[in-house]
Structure 1
Amino acid sequence: MQEIMTLIQDPAAWVALITLVVMEVVLGIDNLIFISILTNKLPPEHRERARKIGIGLALVMRLALLGTVAWIVQLTEPLFTAFGHGFSWKDLILIAGGLFLVWKATKEIHHTVDPVDHQEDFIATSATTGFASAIGQILLLDLVFSVDSIITAVGMTPHLPIMVIAVIAAVTVMLVAANPLANFIERNPTIVMLALAFLLMIGTTLIAEGMGFHVPKGYVYAAMAFSALVEVLNMFARNARKRKREGAH
């Protein structure tokens, strides 16, 4: 309790908290896009529950990892060396998660471009199996993003209460934004392709990070923001043309 009171009175702790909350929210965008795309493939009655479960698992996982900060820090210690790079558990987790994201995004892009090939498989898949599969995939990516998120938090502040508050705040933002984002993606088919391209880029970035190539996150998110802005302008242009055609009739 004394430590918390000391942190409350420390301006540097408030700055660290605000910075970490913003960082955690930004890092959570990747996870949220994946959850939105994955749950939109479920029957409508299961989507919201799957999102809440997926985001709830992310919170539980991150808080559990915060409880083992000393062990988390050890994940960055090299296990073996290959290609001139010392691979740690963190690197292996990032590579595995990146490969999964690249595979999943590529598969979804193929399904979006040529849905006829997958129509029979979709009909044959039961809602229960689809729900369980979605939760399993969300859990896998939650683990990857949680490890990356917690290691980032540990690198920014040594105070556990600040990390806990930042994680809870970030996951709360994810929970509030999940349904609006998923609904927006579902209503705009071109956004789906853009979001899948984001996942493909994020997966490639995770693989590069795991292989020892540092990719500044600012560049990645700047590219994502620019692409999203271009797509928003395209949406405005399409809506304007649609209103013009309707006015002509």
Structure 2
Amino acid sequence: MSFNQTDLMFKLTDRNTSLAKQDMIDIKMISTFNQAFQQTQQKQQVIQFRIKNIHKSDLICLDDNGVRVIYFKLKSLVFKMIIKVGHLNGEVRLYDLADSCTAKELMMMIQSETQCEITLVSNGEAVAASALLGSESIYYVNVDAEGGKKKKKKKKNFAKPKKKKHRHRKVKLATLKLYTVDGKGLVQRSHKQCPQCPQGVYMAKHFDRHYCGTCHQTFRMDEATIKANLEAIKKQQAAKAAAEAAAAPAGGAAAGGAAGGKKGKKK
């Protein structure tokens, strides 16, 4: 059964109350449907009945008891959204805010709870204070902690020079050092061939051992051979030092003569 809008009486209630009759708070008795819409439009509110918005063009049907007084509920036109905020203790809290709320307003609300300055982070980036909040994003509270900066290290002074790295130097015709030719013209190997590696791989010859650089096989010499090799090395070093000492004065004089004979620019 439908009827004219002017035949109804409306009772408006607070928007935060339930629809139960005993829990409602009466605000004003309104005689017509048109007057109800006029008052709600001034306050930027809408009329709801059974959770659905009622428009001015709608016709209201009577219930089974024929009751002509229907309880309505006022609802604000300001749209709301729920914001998820992750706090420092791992707890995620929900905030009911207006859709035009900015990050600054939410930060002020959280700062009043935590009593410390905070910043909001979303998707790994800091949120600007003037940015509008989105209901689909999760915001995390970030607090600047004092300290954490490392102490500046004192510059260390090194007394000894830096150790030089070993650099490989290519020797021309290095294969000739692996063989020796005697007075009769016979060619002999001066280096030992590695027994584990393929043919043609020779071991390095040191004063006390034979060493393979490919498979790292090592053969140590006997004490008599080591002693003889050390004496030969000492003789070579002494002869080299004597030759350098003999060539030093001649080299210095030649260098001085070359420097003294340098010609100047022509004028």
Q: TM-score range by the shorter chain?
A: under 0.3
RCO higher in 1 or 2 (8 Å CA, sep ≥ 6)? 1
Structure number with higher strand proportion: 2
Scaled by the length of structure 1, what TM-score is found? 0.20
**Scaled by the length of structure 2, what TM-score is found?**
0.19
Between structure 1 and structure 2, the one with the greater Rg is 2
